[in-house]
């Protein structure tokens, strides 16, 4: 079954702990993205990567980190520096550049910090 | 700075009534706009893009550069249209999408 796989679906962490969200794709897409979805705020871009070993900050990168060591994988680490980490996180990919505007999304990961 | 505005958080219409979901944008470059939809318990997915000038599931959207708008319209709402709709603008030199805050469409019987 092709697509974007995010894990875990639900995650609970104590304040001050780092947590890593997994995102894997088997679509052979070059570009991958992480968005944060909050009620009333829509989707906000955290980080994106257009090719392996390269990534750029999005609009709300503070308190987050990413890596892109493999084309298929783009994990997101929510660090203790993120002031309000409880949110729904969405990973997405696109073929290469966004000329077609089409992103393929995962099912999301809901992080709750206690 | 680029911005996408969807002024309505919730839009409730009766089945068979016309639907218009509003989207306004601000962008200094040549805009490329899209509508994404998220049905209940499904992934967010592309609905349509302005450059294709297509009609998907009866929905259309026309880019109005004078009014900087890209409203989504459907003449007769169906129950299965109930979903969350996001307007998105291609930015960052064509490398990222900036989304609006979304509008929840509820079609009532």
Strand ranges of the sheet holding B19-21, from the earlier edge strand across to the other edge = B19-21, B72-74, B60-61
Q: What percentage of residues in chain B have a pLDDT greater than 70?
A: 100
Query: CA-to-CA distance for A13 and A112, rounded, in angstroms?
Result: 6
Best to test chain B binding among A4, A5, A42 (most B CBs inside 10 Å) = A42
Query: CA-to-CA distance for B72 and B60, rounded, in angstroms?
Result: 6
Of residues B90 and B107, more confidence is placed in: B107
Return the structure tokens found at A59.
């609009």
The answer to whether the bond into A70 is cis (omega within 30° of 0) is: no
Per-residue pLDDT for chain A (114 aa), expressed as one digit of tens each? 569 999 999 999 988 899 999 999 999 999 999 999 998 888 999 999 999 999 999 999 999 999 999 999 999 999 988 888 999 999 999 987 666 678 999 999 999 998
Best to test chain A binding among B45, B99, B103 (most A CBs inside 10 Å) = B99
Task: Select from A94, A82, A80, A106 the least CA-distant residue to A8.
Answer: A106
| B109 neighbors B16 (Cβ within 8 angstroms) | no
pLDDT of residue A107: 95
pLDDT of residue B101: 95
Those residues whose C-beta lies under 8 Å from the C-beta of residue B92, and which sit 6 or more positions away, are none
pLDDT of residue A40: 84
């Amino acid at each position: 079954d092709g697509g974007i796989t995010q894990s875990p679906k639900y995650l609970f962490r104590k304040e001050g702990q780092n947590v890593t969200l997994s995102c894997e794709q088997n679509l052979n897409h070059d570009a991958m993205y992480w968005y944060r979805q909050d009620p009333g705020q829509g989707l906000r871009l955290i980080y994106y990567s257009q090719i392996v070993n390269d990534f750029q900050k999005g609009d709300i990168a503070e308190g987050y980190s990413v890596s892109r060591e493999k084309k298929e994988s783009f994990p997101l680490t929510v660090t203790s520096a993120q002031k309000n980490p409880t949110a729904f996180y969405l990973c997405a990919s696109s073929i290469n550049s966004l000329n077609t505007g089409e992103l393929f999304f995962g099912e999301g990961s809901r992080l709750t910090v206690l | 700075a680029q911005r996408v505005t969807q002024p309505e958080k919730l839009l409730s219409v009766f089945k068979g009534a016309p639907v218009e979901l509003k989207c306004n944008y601000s962008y200094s470059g040549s805009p490329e706009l899209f509508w994404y939809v998220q049905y209940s318990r499904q992934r967010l997915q592309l609905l349509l893009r302005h450059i294709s000038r297509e009609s998907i599931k009866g929905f259309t959207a026309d880019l109005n550069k004078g009014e900087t708008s890209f409203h989504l319209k459907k003449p007769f709402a169906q129950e299965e249209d109930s979903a969350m709709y996001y307007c998105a603008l291609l930015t960052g030199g064509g490398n990222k999408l900036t989304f609006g805050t979304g509008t929840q469409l509820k079609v009532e019987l």
